[in-house]
Amino acid sequence: MKKLLLSLLLLVVFTKGHSQIKYSFDNYGWNNILYHANSSKPNYSHIDSFAITHKIYQINKHIVYYSTKGKASYSKEIIDYDIKGRSYLRLKYADTGLKQKIYLMANRNYDQHGLLQSSYYRSSFFTRTEFYVYNDSNRIIKTSYFNHKNKFSGQTNIAYNALGKESNVSYFNHKQHLGRAYEYYYHGNGQLKQTVLRDKKGKVKQVTDYTCDDIGKKVQKLKDTAKICSIKSYLPNGHIVTTTNGFNYNGKPYKTVDIQDSIHQLIKYEVYLGTKEEFLYGTTYTYSNGHLIKTELHNHYNPKKPNQRITEYNEVGRITKDESTYQISKSKQNIWKNTFTYNTYGLLTQEQSFKNGKLYSETTFSYNYYQ
């Protein structure tokens, strides 16, 4: 949970100047468990190519948790796919023999054209249903939300310009009253120029400008405008360095540095915060014979001992090793290590998790196939 909250925090604060983050519970928890793919190449489609290739209609995931007292607890997860590789049902429950308690249920419904019509998510913490409306270009223009009592709880409307880019995103509350709206303006080449945030009365609350004045000039925070400036520089070795200066939602200046090699592979990404440009987060990408090693550092408790995560991928982009070191206080840390086993088809069959060298959990995967 801590890793999830940290990731969401970084996303909200440092999404390269975007003032509005859209989050749908439809994707909450629907991680692809067929295999662990390279996360630098996310697949936002509901269609899973592995499910299609192998004609998978169901995945069974069994987890055993080992406690320090020698006792074990169990859980089970099932994900169903249709013939076109779309996941449409997900169940998770604690398996205690004769007593099985479902603590997560999610499902998706598609129309005959494959467009997602609705999604449902129920857990111990919340229940939510979403319904979607599309335009003639199959882009979502309205999402309606309903709570655990099946009562309307909100709505998001999206408008697009002639280029198919979002021009307006409006959020409405359970009384269908406007809460806030974002307007997007673009340059002629389609690059984002400006974002305007308006409140429920239509008053401008914040303007985010993405146009640089002078090359290399540090941006200045204006009274009602957050200036976001990105500069590209090209090194003799062919590397491309993109430096972005701006202000986060707390008014603090930040800087991000993005470095790509000559073939546009990301090799480093760093985030600095404050007037002294204190290092906050960074990721380095190392490539060798088709293998990728990703090293993440995050300054959390102690700048001299940042949290670290090293993820190794094989030549086809699947995770083979994942090791994290977390500072739980200034003097204590936990080391988590995950190992993965795949079958000859590249499907994940086992995942083991170790905490400080001791086996913490073991997960096995089995598959059912269409004939």
Predicted local distance difference test score (pLDDT) of residue 155: 97
Amino acid code (one letter) for 346: G
User: Is residue 19 over pLDDT 70?
Assistant: no
Q: Which residue has the higher pLDDT, 121 or 29?
A: 121
Handedness of CA 293, 299, 301, 306 (dihedral sign): positive
Residue 23 has pLDDT above 50, yes or no: no
State residue 224's pLDDT score: 58
Which pTM value belongs to this model? 0.74
333: CB partners within 8 A, 6+ apart:
305, 325, 326, 327
- 282 versus 21: which is more confidently predicted? 282
Whether residue 9 has pLDDT greater than 60: no
Residue 82 has pLDDT above 60, yes or no: yes
Report the pLDDT value the prediction gives residue 12, as an integer from 0 to 100. Answer: 33
Q: Is the pLDDT of residue 97 over 90?
A: no
Q: What is the pLDDT of residue 221?
A: 52
Residue 370's beta-bridge partner residues?
Answer: none
Instruction: Kindly state the average pLDDT of the residues 137-160.
Output: 95
Q: What is the predicted pLDDT for the residue at 151? A: 96
- Closest Cα to residue 336, out of 350, 353, 352? 353
| Confidence bin at 47 (pLDDT 50/70/90) | confident
* Among 23-37, 67-81, 93-107, the range of highest mean pLDDT: 67-81
Q: Is the pLDDT of residue 43 over 50?
A: no
Report the candidate in 271, 266, 264 with the shortest Cα–Cα distance to residue 243.
271
pLDDT the model gives residue 287: 87
Asked if 258 contacts 241 with a C-beta cutoff of 8 angstroms, the reply is: yes
CA torsion sign for 16, 35, 108, 60 is negative
pLDDT over 90 for what percent of the chain?
A: 36
Least confident of 13-22, 227-236, 247-256, 346-355: 13-22
| pLDDT tens-digit series, residues 328-348 | 777 788 999 999 898 888 888
Of 42-51, 66-75, 130-139, 306-315, minimum mean pLDDT range: 42-51
pLDDT above 70: residue 302? no
